[in-house]
């Protein structure tokens, strides 16, 4: 399904506690501010199987920045880098390193989305504006969320171009094959000490989201470290934002390490969905993506915990894929090591087989794996 196909589609209510003054059709795109967008684009193409979609830069009339737009099925990434010193883009990269700046949400009405959220207390990032070219028009507006991260509302019902006005199609010789990534399942924000409920309240009050699930430090702790998490979701369930904060432990948690290196709150991981995690993770690994590993002992009793699954255990064990079950089914998941120089952003690959949860049964094994990586960085 093309991203622009279904603006008038009736969406089922998945999360009845959520309010619908802000109908969200899905994630439009995720924009990262990076030091070198050309080379970052090559990494997401060669390693992750994203395909080239659109470009904006000096050749399209921009003077101070360049953006590459990549797509794989419904996932769109925008990679933006500065061309001149100074300004907000350079300051963002200096402070945070490469990282997610924009979580753009696909809406029917960007003006109303702005008005409804600002009325409920959102801080404006920019007021509604209409961009036009020969392919039609796109309306954008933006609000701030945690840290320096922002949400941009994208209304593209009257647009047929490759991405949006200001961009031209980008069709280089290099057209990497997909790795089977389909859509963004959820996007996780790390916030500082005692800030989780502030941002949970923001998504409830300002965006009309409802809380799906909550984990405290008893759920998410090891001998050494702990964190707390609440998952916020919109009415149709297409947008899920878990929010993490650190909890007291004997050593420094991964959330504190993130906050230290990102210099504040920001996006911790993108969870990308696949229909065949064994193929996807095999391809990603062959193409150079590094994943966290769990001890072989994890697989000795995992089937006692999760019951029968469709897949053979051997390839899951060989690739280090984790398994968890809830009342509605099971899920398969795996996490990369940080994909940037700083130990900040990472990616989760997830295949849902009925389960709607987030892998609670894997938290302990996962966090112990992260602690081993932290120890090697001297940041535990």
Place of tokens 């990679």: 79
H-only helix segments in 172-312: 196-205, 254-262, 277-286, 297-300, 302-306
Q: Which is nearer to Fe ion, 156 or 325 (CB)?
A: 325
Tokens 């883009």 — which residue?
Answer: 89
Q: Any alpha helices (H) in 234-357, and if so which ranges?
A: 254-262, 277-286, 297-300, 302-306, 313-319
Task: For the CB of residue 86, give the shortest distance to Fe ion in the complex, in Å.
Answer: 36
Minimum gap (Å) between residue 159 Cβ and Fe ion:
31
CA dist list (Å): 363 to 187, 333, 355, 357, 359? 17, 11, 16, 12, 7
- For 313, the 3-state DSSP assignment is helix
CA of residue 210 relative to chain centroid, distance:
19
Name which of 164 and 181 has its Cβ closer to Fe ion: 181
Binding to Fe ion by CB under 5 A, coded x per residue (else -) over 89-118, reads: ------------------------------
Please give the residues from 256 up to 275 whose contact with Fe ion meets the rule CB under 5 A.
271
Does 324 bind Fe ion (CB under 5 A)? Our answer is no
Shortest distance, position 187 Cβ to Fe ion, whole Å: 9
- Kindly tell me which of 66 and 322 has the beta carbon lying closer to Fe ion: 322
Nearest approach, Cβ of residue 105 and Fe ion (Å): 19
d(CA 345, CA 339): 6
Given the rule CB under 5 A, which of 36-44, 92-100, 140-148, 344-352 is the region that contacts Fe ion?
344-352
| Cβ distance to Fe ion smaller for residue 50 or 358 | 358
49 backbone φψ class: left, alpha, beta (φ>0; ψ -120 to 50): left
Ordered alpha helix ranges (H), 97-154: 110-119
**Least distance CB 300 / Fe ion (angstroms):** 25
CB of 44 to Fe ion, least distance (A): 19
Write down the least CB distance from residue 70 to Fe ion, Å: 21
110/284 with CB nearer Fe ion: 284
Q: Which is nearer to Fe ion, 77 or 366 (CB)?
A: 366
Q: Do β-strands 99-106 and 26-33 pair in parallel, antiparallel, or remain unpaired? A: antiparallel
Residues 172-211 touching Fe ion, rule: CB under 5 A, are none
**Least distance to Fe ion, CB of residue 335, Å:** 8
Beta carbons within 10 angstroms of residue 364's beta carbon: 16
Nearer to Fe ion, 67 or 253 (CB): 253
Choose the stretch contacting Fe ion; rule: CB under 5 A; options: 174-182, 213-221, 342-350, 370-378: 342-350
Q: In what order do the strands lie in the sheet with 51-56?
A: 124-133, 136-144, 150-155, 99-106, 26-33, 75-82, 65-72, 51-56, 168-169
Cβ-based nearer residue to Fe ion, 163 or 367: 367
Candidates 122-130, 151-159, 176-184, 347-355 — which segment interacts with Fe ion by CB under 5 A? 347-355
Which residue's CB is nearer to Fe ion, number 286 or number 328? 328
Closest to Fe ion by CB, 324 or 348: 348
- Name the nearest CA neighbour of 376 among 292, 263, 315: 292
Q: Which of 98, 109, 348, 371 binds Fe ion (CB under 5 A)?
A: 348
Number of residues that bind Fe ion (CB under 5 A): 2
Rounded to 5°, the CA angle 116-117-119 comes to 65
User: Quick one: CA dihedral 374, 377, 379, 380, positive or negative?
Assistant: positive
Residues 294/320, Cβ–Cβ less than 8 Å: yes
Smallest distance, Fe ion to C-beta of residue 346, A: 10
* Residues between 26 and 55 with contacts to Fe ion, criterion CB under 5 A: none
Q: What is the CA radius of gyration of the chain?
A: 20
Point out which residues bind Fe ion (CB under 5 A).
271, 348
């Amino acid at each position: 399904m093309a991203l622009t196909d279904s603006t008038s589609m009736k969406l089922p209510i998945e999360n009845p506690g959520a309010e619908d003054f802000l109908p969200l059709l899905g994630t439009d795109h995720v924009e990262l501010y990076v030091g070198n967008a050309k080379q970052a684009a090559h990494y997401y193409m060669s390693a992750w199987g994203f395909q080239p979609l659109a470009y904006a830069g000096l050749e399209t009339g921009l003077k101070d920045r360049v953006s590459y737009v990549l797509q794989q099925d419904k996932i769109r990434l925008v990679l933006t880098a500065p061309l001149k010193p100074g300004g907000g883009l350079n300051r963002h990269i200096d402070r945070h390193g490469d990282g997610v700046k924009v979580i753009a949400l696909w809406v029917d009405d960007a003006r109303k989305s702005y008005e409804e959220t600002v009325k409920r207390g959102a801080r404006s990032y920019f007021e509604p504006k209409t961009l036009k070219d020969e392919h039609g028009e796109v309306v954008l507006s933006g609000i701030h969320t945690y840290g320096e991260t922002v949400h941009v509302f994208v209304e593209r019902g009257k647009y047929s171009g490759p991405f949006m006005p200001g961009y031209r199609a980008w069709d280089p010789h290099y057209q990497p094959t997909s790795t089977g990534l389909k859509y963004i399942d959820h996007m996780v924000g790390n916030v500082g000490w005692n800030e989780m409920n502030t941002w949970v309240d923001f998504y409830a009050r300002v965006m009309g989201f409802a809380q799906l699930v909550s984990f405290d430090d008893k759920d998410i702790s090891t001998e050494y470290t702990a964190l707390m998490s609440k998952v916020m979701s919109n009415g149709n369930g297409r947008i899920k934002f878990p929010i993490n904060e650190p909890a007291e432990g004997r050593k420094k948690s991964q959330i504190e390490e993130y906050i230290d290196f990102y210099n504040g709150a920001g996006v911790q991981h993108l969870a990308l969905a696949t229909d065949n995690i064994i193929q996807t993770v095999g391809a990603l690994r062959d193409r150079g993506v590094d994943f966290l590993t769990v001890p072989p002992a994890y697989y000795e009793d995992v089937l006692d915990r999760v019951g029968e699954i469709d897949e053979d255990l051997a390839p899951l064990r060989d690739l280090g894929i984790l398994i968890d079950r809830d009342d509605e089914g099971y899920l398969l998941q795996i996490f990369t090591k940080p994909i940037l120089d700083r130990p900040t952003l990472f990616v989760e690959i997830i295949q849902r087989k009925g389960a709607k949860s987030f892998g609670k049964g894997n938290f302990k094994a996962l966090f112990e794996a992260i602690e081993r990586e932290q120890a090697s960085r001297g940041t535990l």
